[in-house]
Amino acid sequence: MLVEKRIEELGLVLPPPSKPVASYVSTLLVDTNVFISGLLPMRDGALIAKGKVGGEVTLDAAVECAKQCALMAIANLKDALGDLDRVRQISRVNGFVASAPSFIDHPKVMNGASDLLFSVFGDAGKHTRIAVGAASLPLDSPLMIDLIVKVKP
């Protein structure tokens, strides 16, 4: 329960775990890896921002979207594992940023998710990452992330 205590100390509230909206599962546990499907920045059933980063969506708003996606990933982990203390390492975070053609700060957007994961999991939150631009994402979302997480058996 150490991770959940840290979440509380940080003043964070986990949202309900996400539900798949098409032909896939939200999380998949394979041996000691959890694969978390692409997450959009949803709160109370709606995107918290829409459009392209560097266009309709500011950098600050996109960072908040990344934080929300990270919270959703943690909620999905809790749902899949029952105990967040089973997380051994956040191994990989993939970030896709729907952006205006001239936008080049994709890593700054993804720092929102990375920083939150490190704050919650400490050294186990350090991960490899990609942050790439995309022409469009589902529902006109400005961001989508997915994760691979190593867990204790």
Domains in the chain: ranges and CATH: 2-10+25-146 (3.30.1330.40)
Q: Is 22 helix (H, G, I), strand (E, B) or coil?
A: coil
pTM score, whole prediction? 0.96
Residue 29: per-residue pLDDT: 96
What is the pLDDT, as a whole number, of residue 1?
Answer: 72
* pLDDT value at residue 36: 98
List Cβ neighbours of 152 (8 Å cut-off, separation of 6 or more).
32, 86, 87, 88
Q: Which of 43, 13, 28, 32 is nearest to 91 (CA)?
A: 32
Task: Check: CB of residue 142 under 8 Å from CB of residue 57.
Answer: yes
Quick check: helix, strand or coil at residue 45?
A: coil
Query: Alpha-carbon distance 70 to 117, whole Å?
Result: 7
